[in-house]
Each structure stands twice: as structure tokens, then as C-alpha cells.
Amino acid sequence: MNKHKINKIMKKLLFVSTFAFCGISLFAIENQTPQNQNFEKSEDNTLSEQDVINAINWLSATPIDQDVEKRKDVYAVLLVWMINSTDVKIVVGQEVVNFLPNPDLLMAFMGGWTKYSLETRDFSSLLKNNIAGIENVILVYNKNKKTLGRNKNIEKYIKHQSKGTLEKEIKKRLNKQLN
């Protein structure tokens, strides 16, 4: 997937988030998602980190074909939060994130990255954050295979995870991406 396609997907997600942020209040979803938070200021980002983690956990645990409208709202608020975060800086590279254009899997990647960064306070390790993103993609994919359909790139990551070589594989892909 080239940078143009990734940028196009990100623009679509940004459009959805802008629309949702302007007109939609985020409802509490089983007390696991942010409740009417103002995500425009970076100070609010720090204050709402646990809500962000709870929202990511809810997205990962909830089947993607359930609560579809609420899921879109949560995506929108999280995307705005991620864009405005002064700490969490997500890098979406085509060598690692090779399973697009599915927005559910892209959000799973960004959610895994964000959750890892916030829980560990490790904002700088490209390797560890990418691994966390991919592990969350695997989790979401495994729970939603029937809805998502088969994805050979994620299947390869699952094989690497089961063999204990996921870190090595992602490191190799990051090296390609950076060169």
C-alpha cells in the first residue's frame, strides 16, 4: 500500500472525526469510553488518558459489527485525541501496517500503539509501539474474522506471534521502512 492510499484513509477518518466532533456528543458505553470529553486541548488529553485506554479496551473487546454507530463515535473522539496528543505520536508505515484499507484494523493498530504508550510511558520506541499496535490488530482480527474476512498479511503476523518471532519480523519491516 502506498503513502497516497494511507493518506486517503487518514483523511476519511479525519473527516468522520471532524463531523462527529462538531455535532455528536459521545455517550458513555458501559462506562468504558470517554464521556463528553473536550479533546481539543492537549491538557485535556493528559487528564483523560484512562478514558482513552478504556475506550480502546472497549473497541478491542466489542465485535465490530455490534454498536456500529457508537463505535464510529468512539473512533472519532479517539482520532481527535490522538491527533492532538502531545505525547503519543503514531507512525503508520506501509511496511508494518500492510493490511489496509480497513479502518477498523487501522484504528486497532493506532489504539494498540496509544494504549501501550500511555500505560508504559514509552512514547519513543518505534519497535515496541509497533508491536503493541500489531498485537492489538491480531486481537481484533481474531475476534472478528467472520466479519472482516481473511487477511493474509495479518495471518503472517499471527504465525510470527505464535512462533515468538513477531518482534524480529517487525524490526525487519521497520528497517525497510526507515531505509
10-residue averages of pLDDT along the chain (179 residues) = 52 46 36 48 59 95 95 92 93 92 95 98 96 98 96 97 98 90
Hey, what's the cell of 119? Answer: 500505560
Q: Which of 55, 155, 44 is nearest to 98 (CA)?
A: 155
DSSP letter for 65, please. T
Q: Which of 157, 148, 149, 156 is nearest to 130 (CA)?
A: 157
> In this structure, how many other beta carbons lie within 10 angstroms of the beta carbon of residue 143?
15
Residue 151: the pLDDT is 96
Helices (H) and strands (E) in the chain, counts: 9, 0
Predicted TM-score (pTM) of this structure = 0.78
Distance CA 65, CA 48 (A): 27
